[in-house]
Amino acid sequence: MRFRVIKAYFVKELFELVRTKIIIMPYLLPIMIVVLFGFGIRMQVTGARILIIDNDHSKISTMLTQKFQHSKYFNTRVSNESEADALREIKKANVDAIIIIPPSFEKNVLKNVKSELGIFIDASFPSRANTLETYIGGTVLNLANEMNMKSGVISLNNRNLFNQALRDEEMIVPGLLGLVLFVAPAILTALIIAKEKEKGTIFNFYSSSVSKLEFLMAKLSAVFALHSLNVFILFLLVVYLFDLPFRGNFFLYWLSSEIYILVSLGLGLLISILVSTQILAVVLTLMLTILPAFLYSGILMPISSMSAEAYVIAHVYPVMYYNHIVYDVFLVGNGFESTKIIEYLLLLTLYAVGFFLLGLLLLKKELKS
Amino acid sequence: MAYLKIEELSVSHKNRVAISGLNLEANKGEIIGFVGADGAGKSSALNAIAGVIKFDAKITFDNVVYTNPKESQKLKPVMGYMPQGIGLVLYDTLSVAEHLDFFADIRDLKKDLAFEEYKKRLLSMSGLSAFLDRQAGDLSGGMMQKLSLICTMLHRPSLLILDEPTTGVDPLSRLELWDILKQNAKEYDMVALISTAYMQEAQKMDRVLLFDEGKVISEVNDKSVSLENLFFENAKKNNKLLPTINISPAKNALKKNEVVMNAKKITKKFGAFIANEKVDIQLKSSEILGLLGANGAGKTTFIKMLLGLLKIDEGELYLLNKKISSANDRKELKSKIGYVSQHFALYDDMSVRENMLFFASMHKIDAKKSVELINKYSMELGFNDYLDKMPKDLPIGINQRFSLATAILHEPIILFLDEPTSGVDVIARAQFWKLLKELKEKMGMAILITTHYMSEAEFCDRVVLLKDGKKVADDSVENFYERFANAKNFEEIFLEFYK
Ligand SMILES: Nc1ncnc2c1ncn2[C@@H]1O[C@H](COP(=O)(O)OP(=O)(O)OP(=O)(O)O)[C@@H](O)[C@H]1O
Ligand SMILES: [Mg+2]
């Protein structure tokens, strides 16, 4: 491997990308997808599923329950089950929030003694959880005003819960990272190799002593460098624009994302070997990445509830593994202590290496005849 | 043992045999020409020897043997290969200087004094020294071709393989290229395999292989043999002459020698660079005007302005005595002009018929009439057997006729042809000129044509010479010969202007 050759191709690639303005693509596309989809989801807080456990059975507690039942924001159910049972329902993603009314609620309120409502909110989607919290608070305040209570008599003891069971399921914003970092690097890789075939400049590779390894290293490293920046841009976007917490290990986030980008590069490389025009490269890459990344990543449908075939496909696509890690670093924070994460990280590395080696093997330094 | 030895070379594409049974031996310093009709298998043979396509053969070069592309890898450092096609190996957005750096880097060349000297020489041969910062996409066709050429020769390969390297290259550069080739062959013991459509050029080589139908039919090393005659005889013998042409006279043919287009002091600037400076040209009906000039002289730019594809910076344009000023005028202009571009602009994924229908609909010709016209022209221009083929599967001579037919579907009165005969074989070229003559005489068309085959200038009624964007001569062919009484052919006249 000669560094000079790789550098020459690398620099040429960047010049071309900048001068043809294609350089915008690796940044615009991911940001657009994350912002569009991310915000699309943020708005929908109607019909939140609320479970009310009324331990007081008084007039005021019934009034409060009715307030919730009449609101279009909530889809309210009242039950007598134990707190533990109710919490299990949150874990199964059957309810979004639980409100627990304490036994002597009415008595305390009438005596102007401070009384506390217990509230548990599913915080898998933090922005949604925030909104829910505000709505619940607003509804309670509304009742307090109607009854001319002194302010501060009813307080909310609010706790956010993280759903272990939701792991591979509805985790949209982190899931979007898994989508864009799968789609964008693959497209660019397929594009810049197919372009050489379409134009004829691939002859410079065919007819010189540039080795297959040098050629691939140069092409892939250019795309890799551009997308590595995206790892940080997307991080800032998710944490600051969507207010997601970041509970995990940044190094794990960075490492897994870079490996994941390599997987995507490898896929783009394989596609570029099949096609010989840019348009085909883009179409085929989109077909092979966007749809599956949506369908099988757990964004639309929980993987555990998929049909047998779909379940297998979801496990074949690398998207799921990365999504799991991203979910962990943002929302949970098990990090390197989780063996599953280590396992997934190794799996992703295996994908990256496998795709690259396969590409290296299949790439021919000759025309298709 | 010979320096280069090729034994029983054959190449097939899918099931079609492109070349078979090629044997060749060459010694150090030899330049060997590959000539033959288009599609005779020259490119396949060159691709194979360059090791960029699957083949069957045993090839030995400098005592290294290779029998497939993979094995040819070891020889790549000493090989130079330029495939056929204008600007194929160039990156549109990289400048001339960046190309040279890139090729020096991927070839891992030491940038020492000798290298700089040689590079300078190549640049001056190609006339590109003044355009180091220009991006390849902004170069003229011939300049692109020359840049590809010098990039291929930059590492002084000892096995140089060039597929029609001089297509679209002007006579002056061609002469200088030959100097360099001959010198490299002598000094660096280089072997060069070069295909060409210029018989004069083939005559300069040490030996010439004549290809036909995927076979080498003869090897000529006697310089007194006229390759052109050999070519024609062979084609006649094999019944390979293209179908004849027979155009019916147009009902409303124009009057002869009427000025149909008048361009006055036309100027075009690209930034600070002046591509055309105050050029005056008159086009008359029933006249073939040859527009000649070295690469980058501004021929294509000028044509594009007359067509309305490029903005005219200064000057005036009249069509049938009417000044072109509004957008409507320009629309009218386009409907009166037919154009075949330097890079045939046909769609490769549509058949000949579909291509023609597509262009007809662009010109808003109704469906019934387009079918009629397509039938008429395909009969008259002799390509009706090819209507359902894809453009890339046609012999280039047929491709060229069909491009022309497509350009005249809307019955224009003016026809612009930008190097229609570049890279086309001798026979197809001769017939193309017959076709132009018919168009001129029977339809009364005004034809403006550019070419780098100086012999073709003789078929023009009038010749305009451009040099560095300025018009330096405008006269009838006879008058040129009168003015330069010592000139044996038009090439010599042309070169007089570039001394
Ligand atoms: N878009 C552009 N930007 C800058 N320079 C340009 C552009 N287009 C053309 N030129 C320059 O204008 C000059 C004339 O180019 P043009 O294509 O007209 O030459 P030509 O006479 O047709 O040459 P050839 O015989 O090689 O086809 C060249 O130097 C070319 O580099
Ligand atoms: Mg031109």
Residues A300 and A177 in one domain: yes
- Residue A361, sorted as left (phi over 0), alpha (psi -120 to 50) or beta, turns out to be alpha
Residues A76 and A223 in one domain: no
The whole-number average pLDDT for the span A320-349 is 88
Q: Over 70: is that where the pLDDT of A42 sits?
A: no
For residue A157, tell me if it sits in a domain: no
- Residue B450, sorted as left (phi over 0), alpha (psi -120 to 50) or beta, turns out to be beta
pLDDT at site A166: 42
Complete DSSP assignment for B426-483: HHHHHHHHHHHHHHHHHH--EEEEE-S-HHHHTT-SEEEEEETTEEEEEEEHHHHHHH
How many domains does chain A divide into? Answer: 2
B86 lines ligand 1 (CB under 6 A): no
Q: Say whether A209 and B93 touch across the interface (CB within 8 A).
A: no
pLDDT at site A329: 87
Containing H/E element for B212? strand B207-212
For residue A162, tell me if it sits in a domain: no
The residue assigned the tokens 């020769």 is B153
pLDDT at site B348: 67
d(CA B425, CA B20): 21
pLDDT at site B256: 76
Range of the domain at A31: 3-41+167-362
Residues A31 and A55 in one domain: no
B268 lines ligand 1 (CB under 6 A): no
pLDDT at site A170: 43
Residues A316 and A252 in one domain: yes
pLDDT at site B215: 87
Q: Over 80: is that where the pLDDT of A366 sits?
A: yes
User: Mean of the per-residue pLDDT values for chain A?
Assistant: 85
For ligand 1, atom 12: residue with the closest CA: B275
Residues A75 and A208 in one domain: no
pLDDT at site A92: 76
Q: Over 60: is that where the pLDDT of A82 sits?
A: yes
Q: Which amino acid is at A132?
A: L
Residues A224 and A351 in one domain: yes
> For B369, what's the count of Cα atoms within 13 Å in the CB-facing half-sphere?
10
Q: Give the single-character DSSP code of B160.
A: E
d(CA B413, CA B484): 33
Final residue before a domain boundary, out of A150, A181, A196: A150
| Residues of chain A with C-beta less than 8 angstroms from the C-beta of B107 | 208-209
Question: Which residue positions in chain B have pLDDT lower than 70?
Answer: 223, 225, 227, 235-247, 250-254, 343-348
For residue A297, tell me if it sits in a domain: yes
The reply to whether ipTM tops 0.95 is no
pLDDT at site B13: 84
For residue A159, tell me if it sits in a domain: no
Chain B residue with Cα closest to A21: B93
Query: From the CA of B298, how far away is ligand 1's center (Å)?
Result: 6
Q: Say whether A16 and B94 touch across the interface (CB within 8 A).
A: yes
B347 lines ligand 1 (CB under 6 A): no
pLDDT tens track for A124-147: 665 567 778 888 888 888 888 888
For residue A302, tell me if it sits in a domain: yes
| Residues of chain A with C-beta less than 8 angstroms from the C-beta of B11 | 369
Q: How confident is the model at residue A164 (pLDDT cuts 50, 70, 90)?
A: very low
Residues A244 and A188 in one domain: yes
Residues A291 and A253 in one domain: yes
d(CA B285, CA B280): 17
Q: Which of A8, A209, A366 sits opposite B52 (nearest CB)?
A: A366
| B302: closest CA of chain A, how far (Å) | 26
Q: Say whether A12 and B79 touch across the interface (CB within 8 A).
A: no
Final residue before a domain boundary, out of A86, A121, A150: A150
pLDDT at site A116: 86
Q: Say whether A200 and B89 touch across the interface (CB within 8 A).
A: yes
The ligand placed nearest to the CA atom of residue B96 is: 1
Residues A100 and A226 in one domain: no
For residue A161, tell me if it sits in a domain: no
The ligand placed nearest to the CA atom of residue B305 is: 1
Q: Which of A100-104, A266-270, B341-345, B484-488 has the highest mean pLDDT?
A: A266-270
Q: How many residues does chain A have?
A: 369
Residues A328 and A234 in one domain: yes
For residue A66, tell me if it sits in a domain: yes
The whole-number average pLDDT for the span A107-130 is 79
Q: Give the single-character DSSP code of B315.
A: E
| Residues of chain A with C-beta less than 8 angstroms from the C-beta of B103 | 204
Lowest mean pLDDT among A34-48, A255-269, B7-21, B71-85: A34-48
Chain A residue with Cα closest to B154: A208
Q: Over 60: is that where the pLDDT of A41 sits?
A: no
- Measured torsion, CA atoms of residues B454, B459, B464, B469, in degrees rounded to the nearest 10: -40
For residue A201, tell me if it sits in a domain: yes
Chain B residue with Cα closest to A203: B89
For ligand 1, atom 24: residue with the closest CA: B295
For B26-64, b/e burial (b = at least 16 CB within 10 A) is beebbbbbbbbbbbbbbbbbbbbbbbbbbbebebbbeee
B39 lines ligand 1 (CB under 6 A): no
A117: domain CATH number is: 3.40.1710.10
Which residues, other chains included, contact A363 with Cβ-Cβ below 8 Å and sequence gap of 6+?
A: A212, A215, A216, A269, A273
Which residues, other chains included, contact A346 with Cβ-Cβ below 8 Å and sequence gap of 6+?
A: none
Q: Give the single-character DSSP code of B278.
A: E
Residues in A lying within 8 Å of B, measured between beta carbons? 2, 4-5, 7-9, 12, 15-16, 19-20, 199-201, 203-204, 206-210, 364-367, 369
Which atom of ligand 1 sits closest to the CA of residue B303? 18
Q: How confident is the model at residue A45 (pLDDT cuts 50, 70, 90)?
A: low
pLDDT tens track for A342-360: 999 999 999 999 999 999 9
Residues A65 and A111 in one domain: yes
Backbone angles phi, psi at B366, to 5 degrees: -70, 160
Residues in B lying within 8 Å of A, measured between beta carbons? 11-14, 47, 50-54, 69-70, 73, 76-77, 79-81, 83, 85, 88-94, 98, 101-103, 105-108, 135
Q: Say whether B89 and A204 touch across the interface (CB within 8 A).
A: yes
pLDDT at site B198: 83
Q: How confident is the model at residue A167 (pLDDT cuts 50, 70, 90)?
A: very low
Residues A75 and A143 in one domain: yes
pLDDT at site B350: 82
